[in-house]
Structure 1
Amino acid sequence: MPSKADADAAPPLPEPLRVPVADSHTHLDMQSGTVEEGLAKAASVGVTTVVQVGCDIRGSRWAAETAAAYEGVWATVALHPNEAPRIVHGDPDGWSRQGARQGGGDAALDDALAEIDRLAALPQVRGVGETGLDYFRTGPEGKEAQEKSFRAHIEMAKRHGKALVIHDRDAHNDVLRILKEEGAPERTVFHCYSGDAEMARICAENGYFMSFAGNVTFKNAQPLRDALAVAPLELVLVETDAPYLTPAPYRGRPNAPYLIPLTLRAMAEVKGVSEDVLATAVSANTARAFGY
């Protein structure tokens, strides 16, 4: 049985990719080491671009600042679905420290959304997200706030001409319904795709990008692999969602953009294409999705 030290240790560098790719969704602010170190390590194995994702006001500001400071880093900004109910209910350990109005309520959510809207207009910000619905961590009492926030982010993405980055956890039908009701932006990305093959077909029909993370390599993730198998090559992205979802054989250890090659190689096997073919496709797809 591995020791705690082994479990906490960063996995080794994988063999470099021959065709450079992008990590379409990462959280550098939650990873160990400096941004410079993380980007250098990623570049050494062919991961030359990263999309830094904001989940709250503070994180979204940091994402925008980091994208402005580093070549090869782009930002997305948003209130994570689980943050919207916290704002509305006036969570004293959450939004009151990050610029939202004290006391919660819809006015506080409006204030927070206004700040995300301001950040979304910045040129280095290429996406609005991660937004969407999460029924795993938020119960029925939070659904109204989540839905209001999601609809506001959709409108924001369309108005600014930015990609919409969706967090969808245990909420597939409602996410697809709201996208249809609001009208999805021209570029919509399902981050850490979690649906089945039938949902992948629906996404493909609508031109939605599907971004696969390290969990596609997990033994119990056959439904994800089935979805990837039917997803059109021109709509597939790869991501880490680091520091989470570290790909096999290092599941449970810290994730980072430099581990993208492990996930991409596993995805290439599922798709029945060479590593280079998939890398070329996802590189072009990510640039198209985020407009860089």
Structure 2
Amino acid sequence: MVDVLGAGPVAVLTGAGISTDSGIPDYRGPDSPPRNPMTYQQFVGDFAFRRHYWARNHVGWRHIARTEPNDGHRALAKLEAEGLVTGLITQNVDILHEVAGSRRVIDLHGRYDRVICLSCRRAITREHLAERLTALNPDYAAEVSDIEIAPDADAVIAATEGFQVADCEYCGGMLKPDIVYFGENVPKDRVLEAYAYVDQAEALLVAGSSLTVMSGLRFVRHAAKTGTPVVILNRGETRGDDLATLKVDGGCSPVLTSLAEIYTG
């Protein structure tokens, strides 16, 4: 990896695999169960889907809020502090890179800790919405405490019919997590900023992403097209393996920790 990455600067693209050691499950890891995440069209087009999402999220977001960065997150923050990593693009919404100390981070798919109104575009914190949802559903979290946590601040709950949903307190509009759903486009300015990170780098390191969705794969394709070396660190195959200069089949925490030790002594 050091031979390919060289002296930098290095851009980094991370996926769910870097956060599994923090207790956040991924979508497509070798041991992950099949999941069917809600689409944007379902969320905005059907109140029953929206109620089901907010009920699950009301429980699941608390688990994400309690998680801590792991050695992989800390290693990348250390490499940024040393000047090797000059930009990080993450497909995760858990903000653990920022908590670990990374500063130049693009949250490609948004952040779990923020909520926006689709009408007036006001943003509020997820914590503030939790207070409102708890007031509307005072015993709900306790009633469904024994549940399975899913990715993206979600939880697996079968019955959610009695859950009360909160609308925007300013205009009465529909509230949505500041997360890019399946079927929804990543904002264009965010994509262009991420491309700039890749263009400014001498190498691209992918950590913990299967690159199944185009939102991440496009940066690997772009790097390969422009002759920028690509290192992919992931357990199992990825959709970008044929574009990689080097593929490392391993866990993010131990490998990135070793990489940081080599670069920083």
Q: Normalising by structure 1, what TM-score? A: 0.32
Quick check: which has more Rg, 1 or 2?
A: 2
Q: Normalising by structure 2, what TM-score? A: 0.35
